[in-house]
Amino acid sequence: MSIQGYYRFYSFKEIAPRLLVQSLLDICRGSQFLLGFRGSGPCGDWQKVKNLEDDNDSVPLSGPFGPEEFIRHMTLDTCMTADLYEAKLSYAIHESAHSTISREIFGDASPPSGVWISIGWHDMFSFATCEDGEYFGRPYWSLSLEGYSTPNDCVEYPKRLFGTPVVMELERKLKLLDPELKRCYHYSV
């Protein structure tokens, strides 16, 4: 069974999109996006998903494209999500996870190699841990580290990943944008 792991930082604090996009690019050491999705409203509508309604109202945007195009696609009531293409942070996290997390915990899992950002109100939830789902909230922005396959220890692995020097430094920098930054992790099949 293949599972995708999401290790997320998120914030309810509204920040001017131009400043936020540039800050996140700087923190992640990236310059452009590979692809993106623009929702027609808040992304990932929790109520629609719980009621088994289609919540996929997003418009795909192909890239690569830069921060100005990202901002141009945003509107007041939408959420924009994009893959930070070849961000140097991706490589650093991948290396750090491999060198600091033991094989017994790690298994054959691939450490996060993708960095996605979402700006605009969006629901964050998971159905991986319980049938009724787990709702994390509706943040204004989030940064998601994404990896594929299942670690041997799905509970210990995220603790160790969040404890790597690279991810701890990432969290420190993100907290400069919002000291009340939250984090979560979940898996999807």
In this predicted model, what pLDDT tens digit does every residue of 112-166 receive, in sequence order? 888 999 998 888 877 666 666 778 889 999 999 988 877 888 889 899 999 999 9
Report which of residues 49 and 26 the model is more confident about: 26
- pLDDT (average), residues 39-43: 59
pLDDT exceeds 80 at position 42: no
What percentage of the chain has pLDDT greater than the value 70?
A: 84
- pLDDT (average), residues 57-82: 81
pLDDT exceeds 70 at position 14: yes
pLDDT at position 187, please?
79
- pLDDT (average), residues 71-90: 83
pLDDT exceeds 60 at position 64: yes
pLDDT exceeds 70 at position 53: no
**HEC profile for the chain?**
CCCEEEEEEEECCCCCHHHHHHHHHHHHCCCEEEEEEECCCCECCHHHHHCCCCCCCCEEEEEEECHHHHHHHCCCCCCEEEEEECCHHHHHHHHHHHHHCCHHHHCCCCCCCEEEEEECCECEEECCCCCCCEEEECCCEEEEEEEECCCCCCCHHHHHHHCCHHHHHHHHHHHHHCCCCEEEEEEEC
